[in-house]
Amino acid sequence: MVTGGAQLKIVDHLISVSSVIKQATTLIHTEHIFLNFCGEKNLEKIRQENILHGNPLLTQNTDFKVKRRWDDDVVFKNCARGIDERKKTPSFINDAIRSEFHRKFMEKYIK
């Protein structure tokens, strides 16, 4: 059994809890109203900004740089690729060992 003093404490506690709950719900409700009010006005503005800044052709930043690979400056790059194509079209190669003259010389005198 609960005594009279304990009942008053429980009732006071319930009243304080209910007032906190009421304050929280009113705060949530006012935040919801505020977000809806601001959201309706600013949502279109934010959407337009995202559209304009999302298109790289319309932005003012012109710092487009092509990212280079780590092996772009290597001298002997793609040596084995296109061996069949080299036989069809002779081209100038600025490398004494890979040039057509060197290949023919090695085939003729070394083999």
Would residue 1 count as lying in a domain? yes
Task: Give residue 7's pLDDT.
Answer: 65
Cα first-last separation, the chain:
113
Residues 43, 8, single domain; the answer is: yes
Residues listed for the chain: 111
State if pTM tops 0.85. Answer: no
Check pLDDT > 60 for residue 34.
yes
- Calpha distance 50→63 (Å, rounded): 19
More confident residue, 102 or 31: 102
Residues 98, 79: contact at Cβ < 8 Å? yes
Residues 25, 46, single domain; the answer is: yes
pLDDT tens-digit profile of 49-85?
877 777 767 666 666 677 777 777 777 777 776 666 6
Range of the domain at 95: 75-111
What total of structural domains would you count in the chain?
2
